[in-house]
Amino acid sequence: MKAGTLGHAMSPFRYWSARRLYIILFSLINVLLCQQRVLAQAPINQIRTKEGILTIRPWKGKDCYSCQGLYINGKQILHEQFVSISAAYPSFQDPQLVTVSLDAGGTCCAPTPYILDFSVTPHLSVEGAGFDKDISRSESGVMFTNYAGTDKLGDRLLGLYEYVWGSGKVVMKKQTPQYSIGPLSQKQYPDDILSDPIMREPLIKLLGDAYFSKFRIAIVVSDKLRIIDNNIVVASGCQMHDCSSNFAMFFLDIRRKLAWAVQGEEPDLGHKSARIWGIIGKKDQLLLKEIGGWMLEHQIPIDSITHMPLPASVSSLYASQRPVDVKAETFEKNGKVAIASNLDGPKNKPLVPVELFKILSPSIYVINAVRSNGDEFQGSAVAISPTVLLTNCHVVIDSSSIEMYQKDLKIKASLISADVEADRCVLSSATPLTNYVSIRPYDDLKVGERVYSIGAPAGLELTMTDGLLSGKRNPSGRRLVQNSAPISPGSSGGGLFDEAGNLIGITTFKLKDSENLNFAITAEDYLLR
């Protein structure tokens, strides 16, 4: 042994033998650990209980061809589309209690939990109860927590339950609401806001407990949620599985502790309506814009809006609001419609006039509007989607009823957007339309192109004329298409088309004492961008 060293020298053979043994042991331990991790991650489909082997196997039956069954020693005890073993107590080695879950699939129904009690023979099955990891001993059984439904406000409830060995019964000891409380900047979904007692308080005061719960259901699926300056919350959504006929939005002003809510409905196809809660003041331009945009998006007619009475308990909160007419402020100065229109590419193939008329005429309607004093106005309208038509405001504004005609067809229509000054009005058809046209952008138009007008001059339905695109005018920011296609009273609201059948304008007026100086509002200006 050299000076300065401790211990004894090991021969090369003994050194490599020890090293190999260490490598083998390390590898074996690692393999065992990896196997344990794999087993832990794998689905649990077999457990050995005192009563026998509990296992999950495919099952084919009269009412379910590709289901799963839960078996004990080969005898089926439960079956459903999907069956899973969720947890066991005290362990999976020799469990006394096992939680299983039966799932029918889809999103309509939550899985049904079961507790299987193997502390007695034969085992007991308790439907509607289950545990996960939060389980502990009590004096006569076990305690665990589980979802316990919702309260009258729609809050999820967490229940504390006890199961007594061999009883087959689960008893709830306590239940508490499970709030989602946190900084406003961290909120992501309407449920977060509506589960926070502080955030939702103005909305509950406005709607009342009972309607808040209903409103919460209607907005359970988030379409949009925005937080503005960490002070304003704007959210919209619709009822799961019923999005087309039950939808809503809310607006929260955290600083002022005020809320507004809008509930939309469409019980029958084409008959949309909306209810508004909360007084909207003249200074609330952002609120007006949000509510107006939401209503335009859902194509809700002006005359279908109902203002709900303000609860006496919150009237003082809105006392400083100078109310505005939502119909006038939000809609009558808009004249646009939010529609993913057919600007995905205008048609480019020129057609002869006979073909154009055959293709376009089913999209043109005669409009008959009756004023509140009984006066009748007649014009035209052009369909750009299965429910939306474009026309002029001087044809339909201030009307008590609007009807659209085409040959023997008569359909009710509603005004959903209007800009009286620009003479742009948008109608919604009460019945889905099968024919509608594409819109061509204003910037693509060239002076000298041949154009065609289709409308109802003097009430003569589906009259077609032709001419040239004479000029592109922009008086006071209003984009007009000047053309030489003849029009007459009754043509207002009709369509001006190019040779490929694209809608380029809505025929509006002609200059008196002039020769072929006719004008159409560019169709693109009706679209909300």
Whole-number Å distance between alpha carbons of 293 and 303: 16
- pLDDT exceeds cutoff 50 at 385: yes
Ranked by mean pLDDT, the top range of 13-22, 321-330, 372-381 is: 372-381
- pLDDT of 500: 94
376 with 496, same domain: the answer is yes
In a domain, 340, yes or no: no
293: CB partners within 8 A, 6+ apart: 338, 528
CATH value at residue 411: 2.40.10.120
Q: How many domains does the chain have?
A: 3
- pLDDT exceeds cutoff 60 at 322: yes
- pLDDT exceeds cutoff 60 at 25: no
475 with 500, same domain: the answer is yes
Q: What is the mean pLDDT of residues 399-414?
A: 89
5: CB partners within 8 A, 6+ apart: none
In a domain, 31, yes or no: no
- pLDDT exceeds cutoff 60 at 46: yes
Burial of 39 (0-12, 13-18, 19+ CB in 10 A): exposed
**Would you place residue 222 in the very low, low, confident or very high pLDDT band (cuts 50, 70, 90)?**
low
Q: First CA to last CA across the chain, in angstroms? A: 90
Q: What is the mean pLDDT of residues 391-416?
A: 89
491 with 384, same domain: the answer is yes
- pLDDT exceeds cutoff 80 at 12: no
381 with 408, same domain: the answer is yes
Q: Per DSSP, what are the bridge partners of residue 47?
A: 54
316: CB partners within 8 A, 6+ apart: none
In a domain, 385, yes or no: yes
In a domain, 422, yes or no: yes
DSSP 8-state code for residue 527 = B
Domain limit, last residue, from 130, 150, 176: 176
**Would you place residue 35 in the very low, low, confident or very high pLDDT band (cuts 50, 70, 90)?**
very low
231 with 323, same domain: the answer is yes
Q: Residues 329, 288, 183, CA angle at the centre, nearest 5°?
A: 170
What is the pTM for the complete model shown?
Answer: 0.56
Whole-number Å distance between alpha carbons of 376 and 379: 10
pLDDT in tens, 143-175: 998 888 888 888 888 899 999 999 999 999 999
Percentage of the chain beyond pLDDT 70 is: 85
307 with 398, same domain: the answer is no
164 with 143, same domain: the answer is yes
Domain limit, last residue, from 143, 176, 209: 176
In a domain, 342, yes or no: no
Whole-number Å distance between alpha carbons of 388 and 506: 14
Name the token pair of 304: 């279908």
Of 40-44, 170-174, 217-221, which gets the smallest average pLDDT? 40-44
In a domain, 260, yes or no: yes
Walk across the sheet containing 97-103 and list its strands. 82-89, 97-103, 112-117, 124-127
pLDDT in tens, 95-144: 999 999 999 887 667 889 999 999 999 999 999 999 987 899 999 999 99
- pLDDT of 201: 92
Q: What is the mean pLDDT of residues 73-77?
A: 91
**Would you place residue 492 in the very low, low, confident or very high pLDDT band (cuts 50, 70, 90)?**
very high
Domain limit, last residue, from 176, 198, 233: 176
396 with 520, same domain: the answer is yes
- pLDDT of 71: 94
Comparing 214 with 2, the larger pLDDT belongs to 214
Comparing 417 with 165, the larger pLDDT belongs to 165
pLDDT in tens, 241-284: 777 778 899 999 988 899 999 998 887 766 788 899 998 877 78
- pLDDT exceeds cutoff 90 at 468: yes
For residue 306, which phi and psi values (nearest 5 degrees)?
-120, 125
In a domain, 240, yes or no: yes
Structural domain of residue 148, as residue ranges? 46-176
380 with 446, same domain: the answer is yes
201 with 128, same domain: the answer is no
361 with 323, same domain: the answer is no
DSSP per-residue codes, 303-369: GGEEEPPPPGGGTTTTTT--B--HIIIIITBT--B----S-S--------HHHHHHHHGGGEEEEEE
pLDDT in tens, 422-452: 999 999 887 878 898 999 999 999 999 999 9
In a domain, 11, yes or no: no
215 with 325, same domain: the answer is yes
